[in-house]
A and B are shown apart, each in its own frame.
Chain A
Amino acid sequence: MGTAAKGLEIGLQGVQRRFGERVVLNQLSTRFAAGEFIVVVGRSGCGKSTLLRLLAGLDAAQAGQVEADGRPLGDLIGDVRIMYQDARLLPWKSVVDNVALGLSGKRESVRALALEALSQVGLADRADEWPKNLSGGQQQRVALARALVHRPRLLLLDEPLGALDALTRIEMHRLIERIWREHRFTAVLVTHDVSEAVALADRIVLLEDGQVVLDQVVNIERPRARGDANFARLEGLVLDRLLNTVQAINQRNQLRGRVVAIRPGDVLAEVEMEVTDVSGHSSVVTSTVTVRNLREHSLEVGAEVIAAFKATDVALVSV
């Protein structure tokens, strides 16, 4: 402790991960430099969470290598900490005891370390409360303090801000950025929010079908302003690449199409549509809808629909 350890340098070589028939990570190779802030974006199911779980040692690759500082990652797994989508605080421990989880040593010194981490996220005054008395944003800040107290050299963030409101998210962006600049760990953040990616990343890595399809360096000076022209241009570029399989017919990203198949499930159903973009290319897109929704607005094969594309989802409107 005390000596500021540098961030881990991560190397992935031909990493392969399958779940049954489905290939989630396909010969994935990339490097994350020490102290770099990497943001991984991609549609749902592109393999970004799987990548993070591999880096956290919660899952293992079937082929390929994951290295940290040139050694197998498993040797250095104690230097890796992860923040989850939900804070995952233990409700039966006070805030400060949650932060101290997994620390060993004398009671007072452990508490002092935990309090120091709590003050870094601005919650030292709530140390002796139960987690349930804190708001969602505060709980995530406690989770951040819990990760920081171990002085991680690689911090993994699995959409930790997804459930927070817009204002709290922006506050958390600033907090995470400030702490990352102080501690100089390597950070890997998974998100589907492109503006969050542009706000925080040194490099944006876009995953599609388990492979890196875009590796974009972000050269905007920090702290970054959302109104900035460069910010908007880069955000547009990444969004376009995310949606590149189909080009929209109008500003609202809508496309005309026809239903070609419906695969019902217990809760969710998949609807496959053939859509044609402005340049006359036709392709097939899949939209997931709840079965209940499908019952209320019945769709049949052959029905004319308009597909509206959001950042990562496809919504269907009957015409």
Chain B
Amino acid sequence: MSQGLDRGRLTSGVLRRLRSRGILSWIVPVLVLVVWQVAVQLGWLSTRILPSPWEVLLAGYDKAVKSGEVVHLWIWDVWIGELWIHLGASFGRAAVGFVIGGSVGFFFGLINGAYKLAEDLFDTTLQMVRNVPHLALIPLVILWFGIDEGGKVFLVALGVFFPIYLNTYHGIRAVSPELIEMGRSYGLNDWGLFRQVILPGALPNILVGVRYALGFTWLTLIVAETIAAPSGIGYMAMNAREFLQTDVVVLTILLYALLGKAADVAARLLERRWLRWNNNFLAA
């Protein structure tokens, strides 16, 4: 639901009905697809530049179902489509990197927000490191980790660390000292105070950090996987480029878009679940 100047003033009855069914927001993407398909079929666009949506769909079907390999999974040997193997590899890197970077960022945000001593010790250093674009470290990371998993996970963790750190830190700082005083005088111990007052108070900010971090996760992966990787969606794209398979390249771009959107939806669901008390998030 967007906040527009014309909010609530959609006059046409047809448009209003379409919006209430969630159809309105899909009209433009569908229109773009149709124009695109028609443009390719009429020969206005060369398939070398841009394959038609239909071809992309076929490429997806091919990668998901037709070509694949037998993978040894724990004790079973299973045949899995190529697409799922690469998707799994990318998703695994994203998840591991996110968990590592997120927990370290959360930890530092927590102690720096709560303790003056920790803030004095770490904050300046972290702020300095923050100003280095983490993708600038790619050459160094390749030297350290080669093209193994470690390097990509490291980069993702680094990209996730700062949004989570900064928002946790500010979230904790923003918790009202009056509420903390009240909690103490009503008999909460340190853990109770943290769980019932400080953490819920900081949560809106922390979740904003999570959404930013998810964005950084995919951005980092795209770059890291196209430069050096033996598997993953980025690897699939680079491989396809060498064989001039434009349809597969476009497919991978669409996959990234879908993954990004899925991550964002997940974050919004968390907000709805955890921030029910906060009106501002109900409409978001």
Contact = CB atoms under 8 A, between A and B. Distances in A.
Interface string A85-96: 010101111000
A101 B185 CA distance: 11
A88 B178 CA distance: 7
A101 B188 contact: yes
Scoring B181, B186, B201, B275 by chain A CB atoms within 10 A of each residue's CB, the highest score goes to B186
Interface string B177-207: 0110111011110001000110011010000
B277 interface: yes
B185 A81 contact: yes
A151 interface: no
A283 B119 CA distance: 51
A310 interface: no
Nearest to A87: B182
Given A56-B185, A132-B279, A150-B186, A88 B179 contact: yes
B91 to A, nearest CB: 32
Given A90-B196, A92-B200, A101 B277 contact: no
Contacts of A81: 185-186
B200 A88 contact: no
Given A90-B196, A132-B279, A58 B187 contact: no
Contact of B197 (A82, A84, A90, A132): A90
B278 interface: yes
A58 B278 contact: no
B178 A101 contact: no
A106 B182 CA distance: 23
Q: Which of B185, B187, B201 has the most CB of A within 10 A?
A: B185
A95 B200 CA distance: 16
A78 B196 CA distance: 19
A130 interface: yes
Interface string B266-281: 0000000001011100
B181 A86 contact: no
Most buried by A among B179, B182, B187: B182
Interface in B197-250: 197, 200-201, 203
A102 interface: yes
Nearest to A156: B185
A94 to B, nearest CB: 8
Contacts of A90: 179, 196-197, 200
A203 interface: no
B178 A86 contact: yes
Interface string A49-60: 000000011100
A102 B179 contact: no
B277 A84 contact: no
A56 B179 CA distance: 15
B182 A92 contact: no
B84 to A, nearest CB: 40
Contacts of B200: 90, 92-93
A247 B253 CA distance: 84
Contacts of B197: 90
B278 A102 contact: no
Specify which of A81, A86, A102, A146 lies most central, judged by the most chain B CB atoms within 10 Å of its CB: A102
Contacts of B279: 132
A84 B180 CA distance: 13
Interface string A22-48: 000000000000000000000000000
Contacts of A91: 277-278
A8 to B, nearest CB: 15
Nearest to B179: A88
B82 to A, nearest CB: 46
A15 B33 CA distance: 80
Given A102-B192, A132-B279, A84 B186 contact: no
Nearest to B189: A102
A279 B196 CA distance: 60
Interface in A52-108: 56-58, 78, 81-82, 84, 86, 88, 90-93, 101-102
B22 to A, nearest CB: 28
B178 A92 contact: no
Interface in A95-140: 101-102, 130, 132
A50 B175 CA distance: 24
Contacts of B275: 92
25 contacts: A56-B185, A57-B185, A58-B181, A58-B185, A78-B187, A81-B185, A81-B186, A86-B178, A88-B179, A88-B182, A90-B179, A90-B196, A91-B277, A92-B201, A92-B277, A93-B196, A93-B200, A101-B183, A101-B196, A102-B183, A102-B186, A102-B187, A132-B279, A150-B186, A150-B187
Interface of B: 178-179, 181-183, 185-188, 192, 196-197, 200-201, 203, 275, 277-279
